[in-house]
Structure 1
Amino acid sequence: MDIPTDTPPTPAPADDARPTTTEQKRTARGATRPGDRIFLGLSRGSGIALLAIMAAVAAFLAYRSSVALADNTGNFFTTFEWDPAGISSDGKPVFGIAVLVFGTIVSSIIALVIAVPVAIGIALFISHYAPRQLATPIAFVIDLLAAVPSIVYGLWGAIVVAPNLTGLYSWLDDYFGWTGIFEYEGGAPRSLMTVGILLAIMILPIITNVSREVFLQVPKMHEEAAIALGATRWEVIRMSVLPFGRSGIISASMLGLGRALGETIAVATVLSPAFLIKASVLDYGGGTFAQNIASKFSEADEYGRDALIASGLVLFVITLLVNGAARMIIARRKEYSGANA
C-alpha cells in the first residue's frame, strides 16, 4: 500500500484571525507593550506641551503688542523713529520697526555670507582631508568656541575687531565704494558690517559642527564607488558628499541664522545705534530687534515695554518664518540627501 508523500496545503487563516491594519500599525510602533505605551504618551505629551508653550508666548506677545499699537501715532512698519514716551511729539507715542527690520536682516545676511562657506570648508577639511591626529584637536577647539559667552565675543569685538577694521573698510571704499554699499566716510567702524563680521565668527562653530557631523555620515559605499570610477578627492566630495549633506548644510545654516537674528549683547557692544537706514553697510547707524530691546528695556516705562514687546513679536514671527522656510527647502530636497539610499 502506497503512503502519500505530498503534504497537504496549510489552510488559510480565517479573515477574523488576520491582524487588522490598526493592529499592524500599533505593533510596528511598538505600542502593545506597557513601557512603549508610556514612552509614546510622554513623547506625545512633550510635543503637545511645546506647542502649547509656543502658543502661550505668541498670545502674550500679541496681547501686549495690541496695547502699544492701539496708541501709536506712527506707522509701526514704516516709521524711522522710536519714541514711545512721546518726548519729541508732545507726549504722543511714535515708534516703528523699519530700521530694526533692515538692520536685523542685513547683519544676518552678512554673517551667513561670510560664515557658511568658511564653515563648510572647515567641516570638509576635518572630515575628509585632515589626518585624525589633526582633525580631533581642531574639532575640539571649534566645540569650545561654540561655548564662549556672547559678552566675551562682544568685548573682543569692541576692543580688538572694530578698531582694526579701518584698513579693510578703506580698501573696500577704494575699490567698491562706487556701488554705494561699501562707501566709507571714516570714523569708528561700528556699523552693520562690523556686526555681521562678529556674528559670522559667533555662528561659525555651530554651522561647522553640524556640517561636519553630516559629512561624516556619508555612506562609504558612495565614496568608494566614485573612487573606483577614477574620481579625484574633490570630485568625490562634489558628487557624493555635498549632495548627501545638502539638507544638513541648510539646517546648519538656519541654526546659525537663528542665533544671528536673536543675538543681543555682542551686537549692542559693537554697534552705534541710530534710527537711520543708509545704503552703505560701512557707515554707523542702524539697529536690530534684540539690540534695541536690550538697550531700551531697563529705562522704558510700562507703555515703552509694550512697544518693545511689539517689536519682539515681529522678531518671533520672522524666526518662525525662517525656520518654516528651511523645513520646506529640506523637504523639497530630501531626495538629494541620500537618506533613502
Structure 2
Amino acid sequence: MTVVSEAMPRHAGAAARAATVRRFALTDAVFHALTRASAILVLVILGGVAVSLVVGAWPALSAFGPSFLTTQSWNPVTEKFGALAPIYGTLVTSAIAILIAVPIGIGIAVFLTELCPRPLRRPIGIAVELLAGIPSIIYGIWGLFVFAPFLQVYLQPFVIGLFKGVPVLENLFAGPPYGIGLFTSALILAIMVLPFITSITKDVFDTVPAVLKESAYGIGCTTWEVTRRIVIPYTRVGIMGGVMLGLGRALGETMAVTFVIGNAHRISASLFAPGTTISASIANEFTEADGALYTSSLVALGLILFVITFLILAAARFMLLRIDRRAGA
C-alpha cells in the first residue's frame, strides 16, 4: 500500500507537467501561426494595392506609353496627360523638406539629450511631439493665410533681390513673389516632418549606453566629438528610420501641399513658381474626372507615387546594409 500511495503522487505530478508542456506547446503554436498570418496579410494587402493600381492605370499607360513619364502636358479637354510636372514637384518639395528638417531635427535631439537643462527637457519634448498631432489641413490653412503672405511680402522679395545677377541662383529664386509655390510647400513639409525625425532621433539617442559617452567625456572629448563619433554611429540605423518615416510623410502629404503649392501643371526653374505634386493632383481632380482615360491617368499617378516610395525605401535599406558591412569590416 505504501508503494502504491507513493507512486500515485508521482504519477499525478508527471501528468500535470505533461499537461503544462502541452498547453505551452499549443500556445506557442497558436502564437507562431498568428504572427505568420499577420506577416502574410501585410504582403497580401501590399500585393493587392499594387495589382489594383496597375489594373486601374493600365488604360493610361497603354494609351500614352513611356511619354506619360516624360510629358508635362495635362489637358483634360483634349485628354492629353503627362506625369512629369507632378513627379518633379513631389521629388523637389520632398527633397528640400528633408534637407531642411534632418539637420534641425538631429540638432534638437542632440540638445534635448546632451545640453538641455533637465527641467526643460520634458516641456520641449512634448511641444515638439505636439506638432505631429496637428492635422495637415490646419497646416495648409495656416500656410495659405499666414505663412504664404509673410513670404510674399518679406522673404521672397529679399531673396530675389539678393541673388539677382548670381548665376544659377538667379534662375532658382526668380520670378514674381507669389507667396505660394514649390518653396513654400517644401517649408510646410519640413515643419510637418520635423517632429517625426526629432522624436525618433531623440528616442534612439537615449538608447546609447551611458558608459560609452562617459568614457568619451572622460578622455577629454567635447560634446560635438561625442555626438559625432559615439552617438550618431551607434544610432545610425534608428536615425535613418526616422528620416525615412519623415520622407514617406513628405512624399504622400496631400492637403497641406494642396493649399500652398499653387496647383499648376508645369515645370519651372524657379522654386518660387507654382507647381503641383502627385498627391495634390489626385486630390484636386479625382472628383472631376469624368472620363475613363482621365481617371486612369490619376490612378497612374498613384502607381508612380507607390513605385517612387518603394524605390526610395529599398535604396535606404541597401545603404544601411552597406554601412553595416563597412562597419563590420
TM-score, length-normalised on structure 2? 0.87
Higher deviation after alignment, 106-115 or 272-281: 272-281
Aligned residue among 57, 64, 80 for 1:94: 80
Do 1:203 and 1:256's aligned partners in 2 also have CA atoms closer than 8 Å?
yes
> CA offset at residue 54 of structure 1?
0.5
SS at match of 2:266: coil
Q: Identify the structure with bigger relative contact order (alpha carbons < 8 Å, sequence gap 6+).
A: 2
SS of 1:333's partner is helix
Structure 2 portions without partners, runs of 5+: 1-23
Distance 1:318 1:80 in 2: 18
Give the drift of 1:181.
Answer: 4.4
Aligned equivalent of 2:280: 291
**Which residue matches 1:109?**
95
* 8 Å Cα contact 2:175-2:270 kept in structure 1: no
Q: Give 1:271 shift.
A: 1.5
Q: In 1, distance between residues paired with 2:251 and 2:181?
A: 16
1:176-223 Cα offsets, whole Å, 9 max, x none, are: 342244333224221100000000000000000000001111111211
Once the 2 structures are TM-superposed, how far is the Cα of residue 300 of structure 1 from its aligned partner? 0.7
Q: Deviations over 1:27-78 (max 9, x none)?
A: xxxxx73222211211111111100111011011101111233334892111
Q: 2:305 aligns with which of 315, 323, 327?
A: 315
Percentage identity across paired residues of the two chains: 41
**Which amino acid is 1:67 matched to?**
P
CA contact (8 A) 2:157 2:177 kept: no
Q: Tell me which protein shows more helix as a share of its residues.
A: 2
Write the distance in 2 (CA, Å) between the matches of 1:245 and 1:40.
30
Give, in whole Å, the separation in 2 of the partners of 1:316 and 1:73: 18
TM-score w.r.t. the length of structure 1 is: 0.84
Q: 1:218 and 2:208 equivalent?
A: yes
Equivalence for 1:140: 126
CA RMSD of aligned residues (A): 2.0
Tell me the equivalent position of 1:45. Answer: 37
Q: State the AA in 1 paired with 2:118.
A: R
Alignment of 1:1-341 (within 5 A): 33-72=25-64, 75-83=67-75, 85=76, 87=77, 89=78, 93-166=79-152, 167-177=154-164, 178=166, 179=168, 180-284=170-274, 286-303=275-292, 304-334=294-324
Q: How many residues align?
A: 301
* 1:96-152 deviations in Å (ceiling 9; x for gaps): 111011100000011011111110011111111112210001111111111110000
Provide the C-alpha distance between the structure 2 equivalents of 1:181 and 1:149, rounded to a whole number of angstroms: 34
Contact 1:195 1:267 in 2 (8 A): yes
